[in-house]
């Protein structure tokens, strides 16, 4: 049935997928290799002093963020999908907006606002006539509690997105039945909706927790000493890169646990796929104080997670408007856009290659490699950057000596010197996000389509181009946008791998923040937020539209795959 051309095209796709997986794996193997060298005597200190505390801190942070994002995400998703109250239509997508702000920027805004020297406490002091910090009590924002608060406010949209989709997709009819049988709204929520949405919520929460695990910016601002924090300290203050790499590898155990939980969550989600009709469930009509409570419950997370930090940034940036026309600022914008463009297109292309390669041929090695490559998402950024330096520097060396011996011309650090390292780092770091979406997208396309297309004489490549990609378009778009935003926000790897005289928006924020010139940091920070905002709004709109479409012939791709997820189960 399938000609030779078809076969060779199939083999090419598998080969391409293998190359893509290898590219992503190499830096991770380099970190593993560094971890194999003896780390001197740092482990005694780590085990006796650092690890017990930082492990506890990390677990409390993750537990706090887990609980709070669940409450916020599931709660607001329930209100906006199942209830009717003033402003509901707006909240539908406004609730996603905090996703646009990097956690380190929210942290920095809150520290500025709530610190002893900030405007709020200064006002309190002048009103009540307090002179020193001993005269009154105020919650310390630079604390574990502060970190849980801030991270939850930025990360709850992950949970909101996944649980909203699950509320919308599958349970409308179940809700109607429960209510016909006389269950109260609360009872429907706790005994029917909550258990049914659990798998979806778990997917969102595990994503939020991965972000929280590898964060270094916000925890540094808050002085919260997590495991990632210890990785950096072992490296920088005790001069043991080996020890740091070992700690990072040990941390991966936690990541694997999260990935496992997430996969379990998805496994139970599979029945989603068969539902193609999204009947809008009849909404509970809220009036009077109930409507006020619902409105407040939805408004608060957006206000705290986006409104207040954005207001602080705007206020600071207004003192530095002259920066707007500054050549360095404009160059930073163009550099950021340039890198994020290239990296997101590349990442999505690699994801398609991987997913399609695995669809064409079941391959154990490939699926294992892909599963491992997802951990790039959770490795502390600077350590990952060191992992990327190793292969790139070696490749540079090979290129250099080849060019020298063949053309008599030394190329020098061709790859590292040109920003290729940055694009490579973004790809390794964010492949998991785009692959998760695209792979789930592929999984929802019936294999019958492939068979039909191939029977009609299309090669594997033609089938991908003419059948799969058009169907996958919304998924590709959302994967592209999310990767793009993540690239814009990325900081630790960017700092270490960038070429000479090269600044992005994120590094400009970092540079200003590192000399505590917060006003100078505000404008670039705001630019990152604005750029991040566009995709989030677009994402919210496309996913909202997909639910509204009455058509039941097209699979509900973007409906069931609302967001990034490093799910790697397609090979099964």
Considering only residues 39 through 58, tell me which ones interact with other proteins, judged by CB under 8 A. 45, 49-50, 53
Tokens of 525: 């920070």
What does the H/E/C string look like for 125-146?
Answer: HHHHCCCCHHHCCCCCCCCHHH
The least CB distance from residue 251 to other proteins, in Å, is: 18
Task: For residue 113, state whether it binds other proteins (rule: CB under 8 A).
Answer: no
Give the contact letters, 330-359, x = binds to other proteins (CB under 8 A), - = no: -x--xx-xx--xx--x--------------
Q: Give the number of other CB atoms < 10 A from CB of residue 89.
A: 11
| DSSP calls for 448-462 | HHHHHHHHTT--HHH
The least CB distance from residue 238 to other proteins, in Å, is: 5
**DSSP bridge pairs for 83:** 284
Q: Give the number of other CB atoms < 10 A from CB of residue 184.
A: 11
Of 443, 498, 561, 566, the residue at the interface with other proteins (CB under 8 A) is 498
Task: For residue 142, state whether it binds other proteins (rule: CB under 8 A).
Answer: yes
CB nearer to other proteins: pick between 71 and 471? 471
Of 1, 4, 129, 132, the residue at the interface with other proteins (CB under 8 A) is 132
Task: For residue 437, state whether it binds other proteins (rule: CB under 8 A).
Answer: no
The least CB distance from residue 178 to other proteins, in Å, is: 41
User: Residue 161 half-sphere exposure, CB side, CA atoms within 13 Å?
Assistant: 31
Task: For residue 37, state whether it binds other proteins (rule: CB under 8 A).
Answer: no
Of 470, 548, 551, 572, the residue at the interface with other proteins (CB under 8 A) is 470
Chain centre distance of CA 335: 21
Give the residue from 276, 64, 90, 73 showing the smallest Cα distance to 170: 276
- Residues 207, 197 contacting (CB under 8 angstroms): no
Give the contact letters, 196-225, x = binds to other proteins (CB under 8 A), - = no: ---------------------------x-x
Give the residue from 435, 436, 398 showing the smallest Cα distance to 414: 398
Residue 84 is given by DSSP the state E
Task: For residue 60, state whether it binds other proteins (rule: CB under 8 A).
Answer: no
Q: The dihedral of CA 284, 288, 290, 291: what is its sign?
A: positive
Considering only residues 407 through 426, tell me which ones interact with other proteins, judged by CB under 8 A. 411-414, 416-419
The least CB distance from residue 235 to other proteins, in Å, is: 8
- Residues 433, 375 contacting (CB under 8 angstroms): no
- Residues 373, 485 contacting (CB under 8 angstroms): no
Counting residues that bind other proteins (by CB under 8 A) gives 65
Name the residues that contact other proteins, by CB under 8 A: 45, 49-50, 53, 116-117, 122, 125, 131-134, 140, 142-143, 223, 225, 232-233, 235-239, 241, 331, 334-335, 337-338, 341-342, 345, 382, 385-386, 389-390, 393, 396-397, 400, 411-414, 416-419, 470, 473, 495-496, 498-502, 511, 514-517, 519
């Amino acid at each position: 049935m399938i000609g030779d051309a078809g076969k060779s095209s199939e083999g090419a796709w598998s080969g391409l997928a293998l190359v893509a997986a290898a590219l992503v794996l190499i830096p991770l193997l380099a970190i593993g290799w560094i971890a194999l060298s003896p780390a001197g005597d740092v482990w005694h200190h780590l085990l006796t002093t650092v690890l017990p505390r930082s492990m506890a801190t990390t677990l409390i942070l993750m537990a706090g963020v887990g609980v709070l994002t669940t409450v916020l995400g599931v709660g607001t998703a329930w209100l906006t999908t199942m209830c009717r109250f003033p402003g509901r239509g707006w909240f539908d997508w406004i609730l996603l907006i905090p996703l646009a702000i990097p956690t380190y920027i929210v942290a920095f805004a809150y520290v500025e606002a709530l610190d002893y020297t900030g405007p709020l406490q200064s006002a309190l002091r002048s009103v009540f006539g307090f002179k020193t910090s001993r005269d009154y009590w105020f919650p310390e924002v630079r604390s574990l509690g502060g970190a849980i608060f801030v991270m939850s406010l930025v990360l709850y949209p992950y949970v909101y997105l996944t649980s909203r989709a699950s509320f919308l997709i599958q349970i409308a009819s179940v809700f109607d039945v429960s209510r016909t049988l006389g269950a109260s709204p609360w009872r429907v929520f706790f005994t029917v909706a909550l258990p049914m949405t659990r798998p979806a919520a778990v997917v969102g929460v595990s994503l939020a927790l991965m972000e929280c695990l590898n964060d270094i910016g916000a925890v540094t601002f808050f002085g919260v000493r997590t495991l990632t924090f210890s990785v950096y300290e072992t490296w920088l203050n005790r001069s043991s890169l080996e020890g740091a790499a070992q700690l990072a590898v040990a941390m991966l155990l936690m990541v694997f646990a999260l990935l496992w939980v997430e996969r379990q969550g998805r496994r139970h989600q599979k029945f989603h796929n068969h539902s193609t009709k999204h009947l809008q469930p009849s909404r509970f009509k809220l009036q009077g104080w109930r409507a006020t409570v619902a409105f407040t419950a939805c408004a608060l997370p957006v206000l705290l997670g986006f409104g207040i930090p954005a207001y602080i940034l705007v206020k600071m940036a207004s003192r530095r408007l002259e920066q707007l026309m500054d050549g360095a600022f404009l160059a930073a914008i163009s550099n950021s856009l340039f890198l994020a463009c290239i990296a997101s297109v590349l990442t999505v292309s690699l994801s398609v290659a991987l997913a399609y390669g695995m669809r064409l041929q079941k391959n154990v090695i490939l699926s294992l490699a892909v599963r491992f490559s997802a951990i790039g998402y959770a490795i502390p950024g600077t350590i990952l950057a060191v992992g990327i330096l190793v292969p790139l520097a070696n490749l540079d060396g090979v290129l250099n000596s080849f060019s020298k011996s063949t053309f008599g011309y030394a190329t020098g650090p061709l790859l590292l010197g040109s920003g290729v390292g940055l694009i490579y780092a973004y790809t390794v770091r964010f492949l998991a996000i785009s692959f998760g979406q695209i792979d789930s997208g592929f999984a929802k396309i019936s294999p019958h389509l492939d068979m039909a297309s191939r029977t009609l004489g299309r090669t594997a490549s033609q089938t991908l181009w003419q059948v799969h990609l058009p169907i996958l378009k919304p998924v590709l778009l959302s994967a592209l946008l999310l990767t793009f935003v993540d690239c814009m926000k990325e900081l630790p790897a960017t700092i270490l791998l960038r070429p000479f005289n090269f600044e992005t928006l994120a590094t400009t924020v970092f540079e200003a923040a590192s000399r505590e010139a917060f006003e100078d940091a505000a404008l670039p920070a705001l630019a990152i937020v604005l750029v991040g905002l566009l995709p989030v709004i677009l994402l919210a709109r496309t996913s909202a539209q997909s639910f509204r479409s009455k058509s039941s012939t097209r699979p509900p791709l973007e409906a069931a795959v609302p967001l990034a997820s490093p799910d790697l189960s397609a090979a099964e």
